[in-house]
Amino acid sequence: MLIAIPKVLDATQLDAVRQLLEQAGPAWVDGRITAGYQGAGVKFNQQIDERSQVAQQCQEIILSALERHPRFISAALPNLVYPPMFNRYGEGMTFGAHVDGSVRIHPHNGRKFRTDVSATLFLSPASSYDGGELQIDDTYGSHSVRLEAGDMVIYPSTSLHQVTPVTRGVRTACFFWVQSLVRDDGQRSMLFDMDNAIQKLNQTNADEIARRTLIGCYHNLLRQWSDT
């Protein structure tokens, strides 16, 4: 399930994150420092040191925004959110085809973290760079994603994906993973569709008993499928 989530960051939040990243200086490091065996040979970008002060300041802004975004909550059903990371691609930089690692180590508490959902939050205006599309492969083919600054896309972490070479400008983005309450993507997709249907029925004042029954089914399925 590939879902675009618009306006995760408002203009004020976006400006604050951009300013912090622009002033990061030596906190930008070779992106291969966090690449696993598969990614090291195809990864050519820069990242912010995830333990740096600037990373933690940006993480606070983004996590606060995510907590209040209903579409993100509905689609990802987050149990845990990995502290957001930040990368940038200058001209010629790219990240070849790869699948995200299944388990990461949390940088702050050292606990193992299962990656169910991958997320990319775009920070650069789409008009400020060429290339740099996020290409995601699934059972329905290959999808090219290029969103406006402040918008985000989420997709299953099992997906093969890549960032195409940047040919002009600089592409800056935030990326992170979610350990979902529901690890199966098909089950998450059904719950997301059901939640959207419930919201539309609520807006139209549909039959109250039918709505209540549907809400009960949603929560009973979530209870049955949830890992926690």
CATH level 3 topology of 3-180: Jelly Rolls (2.60.120)
- Sign for the pseudo-dihedral over CA of 65, 70, 75, 79: positive
Q: So what's the pLDDT on residue 228? A: 73
pLDDT digits (tens, 9 = 90+) for 55-86: 999 999 999 999 999 999 999 999 999 999 99
Kindly report which listed range (29-43, 92-106, 115-129) carries the lowest average pLDDT score: 29-43
CATH architecture of 185-225: Irregular (4.10)
pLDDT digits (tens, 9 = 90+) for 11-48: 999 999 999 999 998 889 987 777 655 656 788 999 99
What span, in angstroms and rounded, lies between the C-alpha atoms of 221 and 191?
A: 8
- Sign for the pseudo-dihedral over CA of 72, 73, 78, 81: positive
pLDDT digits (tens, 9 = 90+) for 189-208: 999 999 999 999 999 988 99
What span, in angstroms and rounded, lies between the C-alpha atoms of 98 and 37?
A: 10
Kindly report which listed range (80-84, 147-151, 165-169, 208-212) carries the lowest average pLDDT score: 208-212
Q: So what's the pLDDT on residue 39? A: 56
Spans of all domains in the chain: 3-180, 185-225
Helix (H) or strand (E) holding 177: strand 171-180
Query: Which tokens in the block code for residue 159?
Result: 């997906």
- In the block, tokens 């989420």 appear at 154
